[in-house]
Amino acid sequence: MSGIHINDIEAAINYWREAQPSPDGVMLPAPTRALAEVYALLVFYHESEADADSMPEDALQAWLQWYDTTPDTPCIAICSTSQGDAVCKGCGRTDQEVQNWPVMSAFEKRQTWRRITLHGDAWRFNRYAERAVENRAAPQG
């Protein structure tokens, strides 16, 4: 099963709401409506992922079009896996994810993005936070 997390469905809905606003404030354009139906079913059934293999084609295509607007890779050009680390300090991906990234599906990539974002300890996520803490600790003078 290729899962699409509910947060990605919501992000895609918000993308389409901005890209194609409702003409009258009531009717939803087709991509937003298709994704909203999937989102509603996830909420109703208390599920966190939609099965991409059984998703309605119009919703899947709307999600894939949104996906094409997202960054392709979490890489920040500081790859510690090339130095032997099992997990890259720069982006948070495993060495296998780094190596296989070009052939991974959109769904696998988004699952990786979700995992590294939730984990949040790669330099991509904490570099500026650490600097802010250092600046607060430094004497002002």
Tell me what the pLDDT averaged over the chain comes to.
89
Instruction: Give the pLDDT band (50/70/90) at residue 141.
Output: low
pLDDT at 18 over 60: yes
Question: How buried is 38 (Cβ within 10 angstroms: 0-12 exposed, 13-18 middle, 19+ buried)?
Answer: buried
Mean of the pLDDT values across residues 43-67?
A: 96
User: What does residue 110 show for φ and ψ, rounded to 5 degrees?
Assistant: -65, -35
- The model's pTM is 0.79
Residue 85: which domain range? Answer: 71-141
What is the residue whose two structure tokens read 């004497």? 139
- Kindly state whether residues 75 and 138 are assigned to the same domain: yes
Handedness of CA 131, 116, 98, 4 (dihedral sign): negative
- Kindly state whether residues 9 and 64 are assigned to the same domain: yes
The predicted structure's pLDDT at residue 76? 87
- Kindly state whether residues 139 and 116 are assigned to the same domain: yes
Number of domains in the chain: 2
Cα separation, 71 vs 129, whole angstroms: 21
Which of these three, 52, 70, 88, is where a domain ends? 70
Mean of the pLDDT values across residues 130-140?
A: 56
Residue ranges of alpha helices (H) inside the chain are 6-19, 30-44, 57-67, 95-100, 106-119, 123-137
Instruction: Give the pLDDT band (50/70/90) at residue 125.
Output: confident
- Kindly state whether residues 60 and 87 are assigned to the same domain: no
The predicted structure's pLDDT at residue 46? 97
60-117 tens-digit pLDDT: 999 999 999 998 899 988 889 888 899 999 999 999 999 999 999 999 999 999 999 9
Instruction: Give the pLDDT band (50/70/90) at residue 140.
Output: low
